[in-house]
């Protein structure tokens, strides 16, 4: 029979009513698996924590702790035994991105920290302490969001607003609202899924003078509870010529922005060229300094060799000329 103190619980803690239900079904102290039905939602790139802890705040430093996904092979996203993490047995997708807090382990908290969340991290995770024989299931939902952009174009019966938003997951929906928050009737939105599995959505709506001058494009994803919106304010117009004037002024401002952008780009290119030349000169300077060091080293070796030869010559004894002649006569 497994003691009640070794049960694993997911944060947040159960209500009093849920705890009573647990005791009624525990069968005299047998451990039950308790988990939350609400998935954990994370955005791509976030650092998150998957909660799991022992009910009693006992030291779990030396316990075996397993975090796994059964749809992977190998299934472990984190494995700890005898106080050591066994990275070689973990799935390569999670290498270096999962960890447990050493300080929290001493209090029975075995929650898993997952860094730099990816779309592929979405799934069902199991937290297991084999000593207790119980496990927890944690559902992770991963999403990606971005703010929408609105473009304006003129048509004969009003103004067309084009809204586009890139980099969403899962697939979102697009809504148009007027200044009072009322939904506008728009055509079906277009959705494109890219090679990175992220969605690009777009929608357009035609508005006229009967509508307000403020319009909002809202992109939302209900599963991840994520919403992004952009509001545009159109100038009030009394006639078609004034409306055209605003559009022409907008075109002039756009052209001016383009000229300034090109000018900045040219300056950036010049600066980059100068930086490249400086880098080349610095490399050449380093090469010359290395060559000078090599020449100085060779010169030093030559001088040393000459000094040694001179010393050897001095040690050779000199023969007297008279003794040389006497030696020749004897021969």
Domain extents in the chain: 4-143, 149-234, 246-317
- Token readout for 170 is 């899962």
Other CB atoms within 10 A of residue 150 CB: 17
Q: In what helix (H) or strand (E) does residue 161 lie, and over which residues does it extend?
A: strand 158-168
Per-residue confidence at 121, pLDDT binned at 50, 70, 90?
Answer: very high
In this predicted model, which residue has the larger pLDDT, 102 or 316? 102
Would you say residue 17 has pLDDT above 80?
no
Per-residue confidence at 323, pLDDT binned at 50, 70, 90?
Answer: low
Instruction: Judge whether 144 and 171 are in contact, CB under 8 Å.
Output: no
Beta bridge partner(s), residue 162: 151, 204
CATH number, span 4-143: 2.60.40.10
Would you say residue 214 has pLDDT above 60?
yes
Q: In what helix (H) or strand (E) does residue 305 lie, and over which residues does it extend?
A: helix 240-315
Instruction: Judge whether 119 and 108 are in contact, CB under 8 Å.
Output: no
Would you say residue 26 has pLDDT above 70?
no
Would you say residue 285 has pLDDT above 90?
no
pTM surpassing 0.85?
A: no
Beta bridge partner(s), residue 204: 162
Distance CA 88, CA 65 (A): 15
Residue 40, CB half-sphere, CA atoms under 13 Å: how many? 26
Q: In what helix (H) or strand (E) does residue 315 lie, and over which residues does it extend?
A: helix 240-315
Give the model's pLDDT for residue 205: 93
Q: Taking residues 219-243, what's their average pLDDT?
A: 78
Quote the Cα angle for 70-168-41, to 5°: 45
- Token readout for 16 is 């009093």
Give the model's pLDDT for residue 237: 54
Beta bridge partner(s), residue 159: 154, 207
In this predicted model, which residue has the larger pLDDT, 225 or 36? 225
Report percent pLDDT > 70 for the chain.
73
Give the CATH class of 149-234. Answer: mainly beta
Number of residues that this document lists for the chain:
331
Of 155, 297, 142, the closest CA to residue 223 belongs to 142
Helix (H, G, I), strand (E, B) or coil at 231: strand
Alpha carbon 156 to chain centroid distance?
Answer: 46
Q: Taking residues 265-275, what's their average pLDDT?
A: 68
Give the model's pLDDT for residue 33: 33
Distance CA 178, CA 183 (A): 7
Distance CA 234, CA 159 (A): 9
Give the model's pLDDT for residue 113: 97
Which residues, at least 6 apart from 58, have a Cβ–Cβ distance to it below 8 Å? 5, 108
Question: What is the four-CA torsion angle of 205, 211, 214, 217, rounded to 10 degrees?
Answer: -30
Per-residue confidence at 319, pLDDT binned at 50, 70, 90?
Answer: low
The per-residue pLDDT of the chain, averaged, comes to: 78
Instruction: Judge whether 165 and 200 are in contact, CB under 8 Å.
Output: yes
Would you say residue 2 has pLDDT above 70?
no
Give the model's pLDDT for residue 7: 45
Q: What is the CA radius of gyration of the chain?
A: 39
Q: Provide the sign of the torsion angle of the four alpha carbons 220, 222, 223, 227, taken in this order.
A: positive
Per-residue confidence at 1, pLDDT binned at 50, 70, 90?
Answer: very low
Of 8, 21, 282, 271, the closest CA to residue 128 belongs to 8
Give the model's pLDDT for residue 314: 77
Per-residue confidence at 4, pLDDT binned at 50, 70, 90?
Answer: very low
């Amino acid at each position: 029979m497994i003691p009640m103190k070794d049960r694993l619980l997911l944060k947040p803690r159960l209500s009093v009513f849920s705890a009573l239900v647990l005791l009624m079904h525990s069968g005299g102290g047998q451990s039950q698996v308790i988990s939350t039905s609400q998935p954990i939602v994370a955005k791509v790139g976030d650092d998150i924590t998957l909660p799991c802890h022992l009910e009693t705040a006992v030291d779990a430093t030396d316990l075996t702790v397993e975090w796994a996904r059964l749809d992977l092979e190998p299934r472990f996203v984190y494995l700890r035994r005898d106080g050591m993490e066994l990275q070689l047995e973990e799935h390569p997708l999670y290498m270096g991105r999962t960890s447990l807090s050493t300080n929290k382990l001493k209090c029975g908290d075995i929650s898993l920290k997952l860094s730099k969340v990816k779309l592929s991290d979405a799934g069902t995770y199991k937290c297991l302490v084999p000593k207790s024989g119980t496990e927890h299931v944690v559902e992770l939902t991963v999403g990606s969001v971005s703010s929408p952009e609105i473009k304006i174009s003129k048509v004969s019966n009003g103004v067309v607003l084009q809204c586009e938003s890139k980099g969403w997951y899962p697939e979102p929906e697009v809504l148009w609202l007027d200044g009072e928050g009322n939904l506008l009737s728009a055509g079906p939105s277009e959705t494109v899924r890219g090679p990175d599995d992220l969605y690009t959505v777009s929608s357009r709506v035609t508005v006229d003078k009967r509508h307000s001058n403020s319009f909002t494009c809202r992109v939302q994803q209900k599963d991840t509870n994520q919403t992004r919106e952009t509001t545009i304010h159109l100038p009030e117009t009394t006639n078609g010529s004034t409306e055209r004037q605003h559009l022409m002024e907008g075109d002039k401002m756009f052209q001016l922005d383009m000229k300034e952008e090109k000018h900045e780009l040219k300056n950036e290119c010049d600066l980059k060229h100068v930086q490249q030349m400086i880098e080349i000169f610095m490399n050449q300077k380093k090469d010359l300094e290395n060559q000078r060091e090599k020449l100085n080293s060779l010169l030093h070796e030559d001088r040393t060799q000459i000094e040694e030869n001179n010393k050897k010559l001095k040690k050779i004894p000199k023969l007297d000329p008279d003794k040389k002649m006497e030696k020749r006569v004897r021969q």
